[in-house]
């Protein structure tokens, strides 16, 4: 299907998937994302890949990470956010 499906773009859908999986999306955004997923095979596949990855790798609590790892992840996130248009 095209890039724009059910009033949100694929890029927006990808950005919302983590919050969706965490149950942290407000109801309106969750419904918009679910409408998009119902019509977009690519984003639905991405969501399923994340679900499988999480299931296979489990979770890591922040307390289990050493300071260098936390600092590296925070730095990576900051660089990601500053590269956005």
pTM over 0.85: no
C-beta separation of 13 from 50 below 8 A = no
Residue 2 has pLDDT above 50, yes or no: no
Average pLDDT, the chain: 87
C-beta separation of 13 from 6 below 8 A = no
* Predicted confidence (pLDDT) per residue in 57-85, tens digit: 888 888 899 999 999 989 998 988 787 55
Give the mean model confidence (pLDDT) for residues 46-55: 93
């Amino acid at each position: 299907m095209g890039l724009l499906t059910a009033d949100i773009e694929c890029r927006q859908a990808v950005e919302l998937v983590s919050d969706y999986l965490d149950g942290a999306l407000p109801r309106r955004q969750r419904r918009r994302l679910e409408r998009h997923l119902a019509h977009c095979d690519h984003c639905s596949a991405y969501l399923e890949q994340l679900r499988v990855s999480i299931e296979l790798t489990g979770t890591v609590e922040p307390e289990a990470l050493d300071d260098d790892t936390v600092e590296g992840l925070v730095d990576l996130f900051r660089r990601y956010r500053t590269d956005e248009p």
